[in-house]
Structure 1
């Protein structure tokens, strides 16, 4: 399993927990996912890093509003897509 596949799996797991209303458990996984994403995107270009900063801001805003479904969507779709871009 590659690191990207591992992060994609973590994103799916975390999103699933948010959708089930298990926000505390999901938030713990989310911290690891965000740290891993940050490390993975360190060598990415400026556009990708800017997209990461915008996405992170949107996800944290969802968390602040307790919009767990919105956060799950961002993690499961946009974040995975962003993580796949540098490896393409």
Structure 2
């Protein structure tokens, strides 16, 4: 399993925790997921970095509003899609 595939799996697992209402546990995992994604995406082309900044901003907004389902959606769909795009751009 590649590092990107592992990060995708972690995104989905963390999103699942948010969907189950386990927001404290998910929030702790989310820090690691975001750090991992940051490391994977920072060296990618500028459009991917811009998309990462856009997605991260929205996820942090959801966290601030305690919109756990919205955060789960951003992680499970938008962030996963970006990671998959970054894998094919590598």
Aligned residues: 88
Can you give the 5+ residue segments of structure 1 that lack an aligned partner in the other structure?
Answer: none
- The structural deviation recorded for 1:8 is 1.0
Q: Deviations over 1:17-42 (max 9, x none)?
A: 00011101001110001001100011
TM-score (norm 1): 0.96
Alpha-carbon distance in 2 for matches of 1:4, 1:47: 18
TM-score, structure 2 as length reference: 0.94
Which runs of structure 1 show a deviation greater than 4 angstroms over 4 or more consecutive aligned residues?
none
1:12 aligns with 2:18: no
Q: Deviations over 1:16-73 (max 9, x none)?
A: 1000111010011100010011000111111111110010000000000000000000
Aligned-CA RMSD value: 0.7
